[in-house]
Amino acid sequence: MEPAPPRLEIRNLVRRFGGQAVVDHVSLRVMPGQVTCLLGPSGCGKSTTLRMIAGVEMQDEGEIYVDGQLICDTVFRVPPERRAIGLMFQDFALFPHLSVAENVSFGLKGPKEARRARVEELLERVGMVRFIDGYPHELSGGEQQRVALARALAPRPRIMLMDEPFSGLDNRLRDDIRDQTLEILKQEDAAVLLVTHEPDEAMRMADEIALMRAGRIVQQGAPYNIYNAPVDRQAVAFFSDIN
Ligand code: ADP
Ligand code: MG
């Protein structure tokens, strides 16, 4: 039997702005149930890579595959809403005029009872069920982040893209939320691509780290291996302020 293809695979993605490649032949594979971290300093092209996978920005070269099927190259393009991708960003971007329940059920289809059951299940899982009829402005940053996670997971995405989702939270909360988020993501069996500029976050959460610099992936592997055998002096320096 053929081994299962990666849930997400990108091949040689390139994005240029004004002649300059800010994403320069990036290739990656993410397996279901795994967290891959795209780790690198600010401005190295992480968010641009994620936006191309989400389908809200077009690549200049390269292909994107989901479960072995081409979803986007330079001529063919599955629209963002049909990519079964969940998104989570630093600004929680809950709809302020919708209740917690309405926020989580926003992307759901089907009968009302089934939608309600899924909303309750997810709010239970993120520990927010008591706020089900509350509104975003009544919640703390950490609580909003949990609702945003429930909302992103509600339609059972095959892929979760997370762009620095924890950087707006204070240190005290952050480790707890990272751990809880990881546990919930593992239960959902999505493939997770997590973008961060913080080595300690990547070390804590990733099954695999792709170290990015100036638009390119310079090293890729298990966190332990990357930490113990950095590819060059710049990588050593980048990891040295880990706490
Ligand atoms: P990161 O997420 O790693 O901080 P980004 O992907 O946001 O990096 O940006 C990578 C580089 O591309 C930066 O130099 C940024 O200024 C540039 N860039 C991003 N989007 C645009 C755009 N729409 N037009 C021009 N330059 C852009
Ligand atoms: Mg970014």
Q: What ipTM was assigned to the predicted interfaces of this complex?
A: 0.98
Atom of ligand 1 nearest to the CA of 44: 3
| Ligand 1 pocket mutation, candidates 14, 22, 218, criterion most atoms within 8 A of CB | 22
Token pair, residue 15, equals: 């994005």
For the chain, the first-to-last Cα distance in angstroms comes to 44
Give the pLDDT mean for 132-154: 93
| The pLDDT of residue 243 is above 70 | no
* DSSP states along 67-81: TTEEEE-SS-B--GG
State the angle between helix axes of 141-153 and 171-188 in degrees (0 to 180), rounded to the nearest 10: 10
- pTM of the full structure: 0.93
pLDDT value, residue 242:
64
Give me the pLDDT at residue 173, please.
83
pLDDT for residue 11 is more than 90: yes
Tell me the pLDDT band of 44, cut-offs 50, 70 and 90.
Answer: very high
Mean pLDDT, rounded, of the chain: 92
What distance in angstroms lies between residue 118's CA and the mean position of ligand 2's atoms? 31
Using a pLDDT cut of 90, give the percent of the chain over it: 75
**Residue that has been written with the tokens 């890729």 in this structure:** 220
Nearest-angstrom CA–CA distance, 17 and 130: 46
- Say if residue 113's pLDDT is above 90: yes
Q: Is the pLDDT reported for residue 32 higher than 70?
A: yes
Which residue lies with its CA nearest to atom 5 of ligand 1? 45
Q: Is 43 helix (H, G, I), strand (E, B) or coil?
A: coil
Q: How far is the CA of 212 from the centre of ligand 2 (A)?
A: 12
Q: Which residue has the tokens 């795209």?
A: 38
pLDDT at res. 93: 78
Ligand 1 lined by 243 (C-beta under 6 Å): no
- Which residue is listed with tokens 């909303």? 119
Our mutation pick for probing the ligand 1 site, out of 17, 167, 217, 218, counting the most ligand atoms within 8 A of Cβ, is: 17
Rg, Å, the chain Cα set = 18
Please give the average per-residue pLDDT across 181-197, as a whole number: 91
CB 47 within 8 A of CB 193: no
**Continuous H helices in 126-170:** 141-153
Per-residue pLDDT at 92 exceeds 60: no
Question: What's the CA-to-centroid distance between 43 and ligand 1, angstroms?
Answer: 6
Closest ligand to Cα 165: 2
User: pLDDT class for 77, splitting at 50, 70, 90?
Assistant: very high
For 172, the enclosing helix (H) or strand (E) is helix 171-188
Q: What's the rounded Cα separation, in Å, for the pair 48 and 43? A: 9
What percent of the chain lies above the pLDDT cut of 70? 98
Length of the chain, in residues? 243
For 162-183, write each residue's pLDDT tens digit. 999 888 788 888 888 888 889 8
Residue 132 Cα to ligand 2 middle (Å):
31
Of 17-26, 106-115, 150-159, 170-179, where does mean pLDDT reach its minimum?
170-179
> How much is the pLDDT for 91?
66
